[in-house]
Structures are given as structure tokens and as C-alpha cells.
Amino acid sequence: MRTLRLPAVMLLILAVVMHRNTLAQNMTYTIHWAGNSNPKQSNYIENMMRALWVSQDGEVYSTSSWDENGRSMGIYSEGNVVSQLEAGSAEMAGTAVAGNTRYVWSTTRSGTIKRWDRSSKNASGSPLPLAATAIAASETEVFACIGNAVRVFSTDGASLRQWTVTTPGPIAIDKNNQVWIGIAGTNQIKGFDAGTGAELKTILLPELSRAGALAVDNSGNLIVGDQGPDLNVKIYGPLSAEPALLRSFGEVGGYLAGNASDKGRISARRFTCIKGVGCDAKGRLYVGCQGFGGDAGRPSGTDIRVFEPSGELAWDAYGLHFEGIGTCDPGTDGAHIYTGSEILAMDYSEAPGKSWSYYAHTINPSKYPTDPRLENGNDLDWPWLAEIDGKRIMLLTSQNPGNAYVYRFNPATDGHIAIPTGQQLSGISGVYLEKQGNLWLSSGTNVTRELFAGFADNGNPQWGTAQSWSVAADFNAVERIEYDVTRDALYVFGYTKTYPSQGDWGRCGRAAIRYDNWLSGARTRVWEVNLQTSDDQYSRNGSGEPKAVAIAGDYLFVSHFDSRLQDIRKLSDGSLIGHFQSNAEVDVGNDIDSQYGFKAYLRNNGLYVVTKDDYNCNKVVVYTWCPTGNCPEDIVPVNSFSAAKSHAPLRHRSVLTQSFSLDGKRVMPATPNRQKHQGVLIINGATAIGVH
């Protein structure tokens, strides 16, 4: 792209055009995000943590079962990303990690144990072709649980010895040359002589407790991450004698503790499923968690919290969200955003990064063990919400759904937990949930509406009368539907004779048609538009294929498979008025790679909240836009570049206000009470720069 110096008269004309757009409609928006401590590819927190190891100097090595961007082992210190091992590779993603002063070892997806040099961060030596489930290391030896045995190797990989242990779980080695192993499925932790493998002693946890992670602290005591009902950390010692429980840390019951109305609620000492524990030279306690569902269904991210010896939170780091979407809760007017398994609280008056916090985890595996979110392959992370007479219901689908699952909430008995109803919608290509609870479904060229029929005695939502229509006269295939109850307008998306399929996969279709008076009987086709755009500046291949759509208030929002641009169109005529896009401070992801990875909500104060998945940096992108320029909560000072921390489980980052790209021309409107900034307009492929 080349830079042009435009004549003064042209600059005057442009200034008038910019001023007119500002007066007609506020074209400034803000990019928030939620679900990750950091917003960029350089500093985001990895997804799907399975284990962690902590060095004495306070470096955390966290191994992931999958990270789309290849951060399969992130290295963190003081809440910041220090580095990562094997950048860009998902091969090393495994279930176990251990280290000493020189090396780090990790299991890999291909069933090996791999070694890295901590100083250079490079792989060192040949991987051991062994599928281990847990590993621990001293300065001279590596211990690996493989099948029903513990195998011992030198740090250079030479096999030294082994002994039999039935169903070994997590493993740790202490300063007394004793190896401690949690026995899977039991409340036992057994101690062995590291040299001979002789069984020495047994620690009995509470009957229902299960050791999910082990480490040894600076006092030589055993740190146990309890994945049983207590969901807390237990400290046992002295290990040189007969160990007993010395103390516990964390609220007993974790995120499910307290009154029924508190269930699911997250705070600093309310843990979910503990996957890793550790201690550094300062005596700080490290606790790594993953929300339930992480090993079977759609994983629930990375949750690392570090506590001072006093018990105060020192720092935390979150990568809660992989591919999916966050949906605004109408019951809180968008103050809560629901994902498939989390609730993220938003304060839109705060600067981006400071505006979100981890509020609740909505899976209760002990009470609802058949929750579909716990089942293998059910990546249920795309929600719809409705609030009817104070009762919330939720639909969940997967990345490319043929099915939808129904959930309900009962705060009096289950707090924030989403209760699986056992109801399932099958064989659908499109789904939409009205705020009144009515369901819209599509399949082929048929559209069906099922009327909400109230709640059954057990609290489950019910649907009754169904009415179906064919739109085959207009569509070859229907891919998405949305209904505007205030206008009695149905919006259908798919492929038509004018805009046929081009072999697309999972797209929303090239065509959108608005029908008015759909239910009243005087049905009218108002407009048809082509949603496909071509913008080589932002598109990887220039195709601009539309992938996901959302309607709220007066606007249609469209996201594309291969572009970072998100279109804004008027519902009145379907015309394109502008775009959301990325910027230097917040990466918004390459594209949309799911059918419903894009949502929109209009708050009562006139603020539009548009959410988009970012599977590259494990977060929900949250655009906020006030078309009238008069939405009080959208006031964010431009100079609020704050990196301040909060002693609550969230991280704060910087503010960013962005301009629209208006019909291909980027417009930076003059904004009252803000610093001067440089505006850039794109005109016929050239750039004009001027300060206003």
C-alpha cells in the first residue's frame, strides 16, 4: 500500500465527509475481551492445561492437551508469559511435566517423553518412546509412571530400574529419596524407596478424596491437589516419619462450596479440578486448575493461581476459552457472558482487560455425571440463552452442529450450575432461540417454529405446537435463521439461485433474505443481499466467505471465514455501513471457524455488544458500540493504559478505542475529551494520513 499526499481541497472534502458520518452515527467502537488474561498472540495464556511444574525461581511450565496456536507448553512468571517450548507445535501436548535446575521433561501426543534445556528452551537428546501418565525428576534421575509400573531413567535417558505399582496416578519425589504416588481411583498415596522400589508407607486421604496432583514444598512436606469433593489443597508431613495432615488450603468444596445459591461461583480460593501444584523458593503455593469436562469433552481452559505464604493471591493467569462463543445473558442485560461451561462477568465501564472477571463454572460432575458436556467428542461451547419469567434456559451446540442440547438453571438448588435436562434437538442445520423461549429450526429448505409451552413440574422447559414452512422457492439450502419478534421479521441465510454454493463447508451461505409479517400472514420479501465480500487487505484468499451472522436492534452483523473484518449492515435494507476489525493491541483471531461463533446483543442503554470467538488466543472478543454516542457505560478514557492487578481472579490490561472501516474507507471520527490521534483513510487502495 502506498501513501499519498492529498491536495488541501481534497483533505477539506474528506474532513466534511468524516464529520458528516460522525454526526449521523457514532462510528467509534471499543474492543474488550474475556476469558484470557492477555489479548495478543505474543502474550496469551495457553488452553487446556493438563499439568504444571514449578521451578525454585518461580517459573511455571504448563503443558496443554491442545493449543491451536502451538503454545503447548507455556512458561510463565509473575503472571507474564516468559516463553514457550517448541513454538507453533501441538506435537508435545501431553498430560505430564517435570523438571530440575537444568532440564524439563514432558509427555507428548505421540507417546514419548521429551527433554528440553531450560536455558536455551531447545529440545535436548532423543525422546524416550514411552507413553507415560505421570513424571517426576530429581537432579540425577527421572521417574515415569508407565502402565502398572514406575520406570527410572538417568537424566540422559538411560534405563536404570523399575518396580510394579497398580494404577499409578500423580508422582513426586522428596528430599528423603522417597517417591510418592497417588493410586488412581482410591484415597491412597503410597511412598516408595526411590532406590529399591520398596513400599514404605501409605497416606490415607479422606475417603472420597482423590490425588490429582503432587509436589513437595520447601519444608519437605507433600502438597496434594485433591480432585475429590473437597476440591482443595492438602499438606502432609513430616515425610521422614509417618505423615499426617498438617493443614489445608482453599475453601472446602471449591467452586461448589457454600449455600446452594453459591454453587459454581469462582473466587481466589474456590478451585475447580486441580491439575497441578507446586512451590517456589519464596514458599509461594502454585495451584493449576482446569474446569470439569477438560479431559473428556470440550476442555475448560487453563487456570493458574499463585499464593503468598500469607495466603494472599500473588498473581493469576487464565486461558479459559478455546473455540466457542460467549453469549450475553438477557437476565443481567449482558453483564454476564455465558460460554459452554463458564460465566464471565463484564463491567463495560472499565478499560478492556479490566472489564472481565471469571465469575462461575457451570458444570457439576458429581451431581450430574451424565451431563453431555462431560462426554467424549461433545464440544458443546456455543450457547443460546433465554430468560422467561425469571427462569433461564440454555441451548448448547458444537462447532458444526447437527444437534442441540437443552439446559436449565435453578439458583435456589444449584446456584450457577447449568442443569442438563436430557432434551436434545437432532437433525438440524439452523437453530435460533427467541428471548420468549420459542425455537426456530431449519433443515434443508424448511423452517420450523416450535412454541414454548412453559415449564414442566421438574423444571424442564417444554415446547408444543410446531409450524413449518418451505422456502424452497427462494433457497436451495437454508444454513441459518434468526427471528426479530419486535418486527415479526424472519431473516434466512443460505444459498439461492442468484447466490449458489461454491462448495463451501460450514458457511452461513452467501445470501440473506428478510421477510416481514412472517407470522401475521401478510408475508413480504423485503430485500435480498449478497453477504460475500472481497477485501484482499484483510482476507487470506480474497473470498470473503460469510461464516456466522447475528442480529440485534437495528443491525445485522456478519463474520467471515477468512477475514478479520466483521461487517455491520442495516436491517432496514441490508446495506453495508462499516466493519469491526483488529488492531495493534487486541488480536481478534484469524477468522470464524464455527457456525455460531458470533453473537450480538443490544443492552438497555443502547450499547451493542458483539462477541466473536478467537481460537488462536483462547478468548472471547467483545466489541462494544454505541451508535447514538450516548451510552453511559461506554465511556473509556483514551489514556487509561493500565496494567494494574486486582486481588481477585482476573487480570487487567489496556484500553483501546478503534475506528470503523466505513464502506472500505477507514474513518476515525473526532471524539470529544480524547487526545488527538492520527486518522487513516483507505481510498482506492491508497492511504491518506492527517491529524484531526
Give one DSSP letter per residue of 139-207, joined into a string.
SSEEEEEETTEEEEEETTS-EEEEEE-SSEEEEEE-TTSEEEEEETTSSEEEEEETTT--EEEEEE--T
**What is the structure's pLDDT at 236?**
98
pLDDT over 90 (residue 21):
no
As a whole number, mean pLDDT of residues 258-281 equals: 96
Q: Which of 73-77, 193-197, 687-691 is least confident? A: 687-691
pLDDT over 70 (residue 328):
yes
**What is the structure's pLDDT at 334?**
96
pLDDT over 90 (residue 229):
yes
Q: In this predicted model, what pLDDT tens digit does every residue of 47-102 receive, in sequence order?
A: 888 899 999 999 999 988 777 777 888 999 999 999 888 755 556 667 899 999 99
Report the amino acid identity of residue 22: T
Q: In this predicted model, what pLDDT tens digit does every residue of 98-128 receive, in sequence order?
A: 999 999 999 988 889 999 999 998 888 899 9
Q: In this predicted model, what pLDDT tens digit does every residue of 624-637 receive, in sequence order?
A: 999 998 888 644 43
Q: Where in the chain is the domain with CATH 2.120.10?
A: 8-35+322-691
Q: How far apart are CA 636 and CA 628, in angstroms?
A: 16
**What is the structure's pLDDT at 634?**
45
Q: How far apart are CA 682 and CA 688, in angstroms?
A: 7
Q: Which of 16-25, 349-358, 588-597, 612-621 is least confident? A: 16-25
Q: How far apart are CA 635 and CA 626, in angstroms?
A: 10
**What is the structure's pLDDT at 654?**
35
Q: How far apart are CA 169 and CA 225, in angstroms?
A: 12
Q: How far apart are CA 612 and CA 598, in angstroms?
A: 5
**What is the structure's pLDDT at 378?**
72
**What is the structure's pLDDT at 583?**
78
pLDDT band at 22 (very low <50, low <70, confident <90, very high): very low
Contact 334, 347 (CB under 8 A): no
Q: Which helix (H) or strand (E) holds 244?
A: strand 244-249
As a whole number, mean pLDDT of residues 209-217 equals: 98
> In a 3-state reduction of DSSP, which class is residue 245?
strand
Q: Among candidates 555, 565, 591, 571, which has minimal Cα distance to 660?
A: 565
pLDDT band at 408 (very low <50, low <70, confident <90, very high): very high
Q: Among candidates 314, 404, 415, which has minimal Cα distance to 361?
A: 415
**What is the structure's pLDDT at 534?**
59
pLDDT over 60 (residue 17):
no
Higher-confidence residue of 187 and 581: namely 187
Average pLDDT of the residues of the chain: 84
User: How is domain 8-35+322-691 classified at the CATH fold level?
Assistant: Neuraminidase (2.120.10)
As a whole number, mean pLDDT of residues 395-411 equals: 90
**What is the structure's pLDDT at 632?**
80
67's grid cell: 493449543
Q: Which of the following CATH numbers is that of domain 207-320: 2.60.120.480, 2.40.10.500, 3.40.190.10, 3.40.50.920?
A: 2.40.10.500
**What is the structure's pLDDT at 55?**
97
pLDDT band at 298 (very low <50, low <70, confident <90, very high): low
Q: Which of 162-166, 364-368, 446-450, 666-670 is least confident? A: 666-670
pLDDT band at 362 (very low <50, low <70, confident <90, very high): very high
Q: Among candidates 691, 667, 656, 687, which has minimal Cα distance to 537?
A: 687
Give the distance, in angstroms, between the CA of residue 542 and the centroid of all CA atoms in the same chain.
28
Higher-confidence residue of 564 and 207: namely 207
As a whole number, mean pLDDT of residues 499-520 equals: 89
pLDDT over 90 (residue 563):
no
DSSP 8-state code for residue 635: -
* H helical segments located in 508-654: none
pLDDT band at 674 (very low <50, low <70, confident <90, very high): very low
As a whole number, mean pLDDT of residues 191-213 equals: 98
Higher-confidence residue of 433 and 69: namely 433
pLDDT over 60 (residue 551):
yes
pLDDT band at 294 (very low <50, low <70, confident <90, very high): low
As a whole number, mean pLDDT of residues 485-499 equals: 94
> In a 3-state reduction of DSSP, which class is residue 633?
helix
pLDDT band at 690 (very low <50, low <70, confident <90, very high): very low
> In a 3-state reduction of DSSP, which class is residue 2?
coil
**What is the structure's pLDDT at 561?**
80
- First-to-last alpha carbon distance for the chain, in angstroms, is 22
pLDDT band at 272 (very low <50, low <70, confident <90, very high): very high
pLDDT band at 175 (very low <50, low <70, confident <90, very high): very high
pLDDT band at 392 (very low <50, low <70, confident <90, very high): very high
When computed from its CA atoms, the radius of gyration of the chain, rounded to whole angstroms, is 27
182's grid cell: 497417588
Q: Among candidates 320, 322, 325, which has minimal Cα distance to 559?
A: 325
Contact 245, 234 (CB under 8 A): yes
Residue entry with cell 496434594: 224
Higher-confidence residue of 613 and 306: namely 306
**What is the structure's pLDDT at 90?**
56
Ramachandran angles phi, psi of 43, nearest 5°: -140, 10
Q: Where in 531-583 does DSSP place strands (E)?
A: 546-552, 555-560, 566-570, 576-580
**What is the structure's pLDDT at 447?**
96
pLDDT band at 586 (very low <50, low <70, confident <90, very high): confident
312's grid cell: 494472599
Q: How far apart are CA 39 and CA 31, in angstroms?
A: 10
**What is the structure's pLDDT at 149?**
97
Higher-confidence residue of 589 and 438: namely 438
